[in-house]
């Protein structure tokens, strides 16, 4: 066991093993709880199958651009703070917040809409509660989960 390892989800170098998990007898370390959660949900997306490299090992990126409508508009200062916070999430590439609309570009291999929504709630922001918005977000969750599971399928 070395003191320096590589996070299988984002590829970052990790020192120590503060955030680690054992999977099929192999120890994996992570730079963040977010990366560990992604790995735990879909490990073969990152480690592959015997003799077959994973999508992550092949350099696959699945870029998504989504909009999230907040329950209340943000001031410009609040928008700046929100953007700074979300940029700290692994896989977030671009973010723009204006009023009650947050537009974000991210790599589905590292983060998904559900994790982004959870982060928004964690920092005290609520999403719009209208049923069309809730239906749209539910559909996005379904599509993203299906896409990730399709990438993780064993080779034929």
Instruction: Burial-class residue 58 by CB neighbours within 10 Å (0-12, 13-18, 19+).
Output: exposed
SS3 26: strand
pTM, full prediction: 0.86
Domains of the chain: 4-41 (no CATH), 63-152 (3.30.70.100)
Q: What is the pLDDT of residues 27-63, one digit of tens each?
A: 999 999 999 999 999 999 999 998 899 999 999 999 9
d(CA 75, CA 67): 18
d(CA 93, CA 128): 23
Q: Which of 130, 127, 136 is nearest to 69 (CA)?
A: 127
Q: Looking at the predicted structure, is the pLDDT value of residue 111 above 90?
A: yes
Partners of 97 in the beta sheet?
A: 102
Q: What is the pLDDT of residues 55-89, one digit of tens each?
A: 999 999 999 999 999 999 999 999 999 999 999 99
pLDDT value of position 16? 77
Antiparallel, parallel or unpaired: β 13-15 and 26-29: unpaired
d(CA 109, CA 42): 10
pLDDT value of position 87? 95
Residue carrying the six token digits 């590589």: 6
pLDDT value of position 4? 63
d(CA 30, CA 113): 20
Which of the four pLDDT bands, split at 50, 70 and 90, describes residue 10? very high
Query: In which element (H, E) is residue 107 found?
Result: strand 101-107
């Amino acid at each position: 066991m070395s003191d320096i390892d590589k996070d299988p989800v984002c590829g970052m170098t990790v020192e120590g093993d503060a955030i680690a998990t054992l999977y099929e007898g192999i120890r994996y370390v992570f730079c963040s709880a977010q990366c560990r959660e992604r790995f735990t949900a879909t490990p073969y997306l990152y480690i592959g199958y015997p003799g077959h490299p994973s999508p992550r090992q092949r350099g696959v990126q699945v870029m998504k651009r989504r909009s999230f409508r907040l329950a209340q508009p943000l001031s410009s200062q609040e928008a700046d703070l929100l953007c700074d916070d979300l940029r700290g999430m692994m896989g977030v590439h671009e973010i723009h917040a204006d009023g009650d609309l947050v537009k974000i570009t991210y790599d589905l291999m590292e983060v998904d809409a559900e994790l982004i929504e959870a982060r928004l709630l964690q920092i005290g922001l609520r999403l719009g509660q209208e049923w069309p918005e809730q239906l749209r977000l539910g559909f996005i969750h379904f599509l993203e989960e299906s896409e990730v599971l399709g990438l993780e399928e064993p080779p034929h």
